[in-house]
Amino acid sequence: MSEAVYSVSGMSCGHCESAVTKEVTAIPGVTSVTAVAKTGLLTVASEAPLDEESLRVAVDEAGYELVGPA
């Protein structure tokens, strides 16, 4: 099990959190996602360390930008 925290720019509300959570949850191996608009933090738990590019694409698909590890 692996857990990492990332910074995401552009999230400002619960809808933003839901959109990011939905896209990131679809990445194979992801077991838990917590997106917090107030802090701009995204916590992802997965079976193995995630490929950051896959995460970047998922966050981008939701309409936001992955800034990098927090």
Annotated domain spans of the chain: 2-69
Q: Quick check: 70 pLDDT over 90? A: no
State which fold the 2-69 domain adopts.
Answer: Alpha-Beta Plaits (3.30.70)
Percentage, residues of the chain above pLDDT 70? 100
For the entire predicted model, the pTM comes to 0.93
Which amino acid, residue 30?
Answer: V
Band of the pLDDT at 6, cuts 50, 70, 90? Answer: very high
Q: Quick check: 67 pLDDT over 90? A: yes
Buried b / exposed e over 28-43, threshold 16 CB at 10 Å, is eebeebebebeebebe
Q: Quick check: 40 pLDDT over 90? A: yes
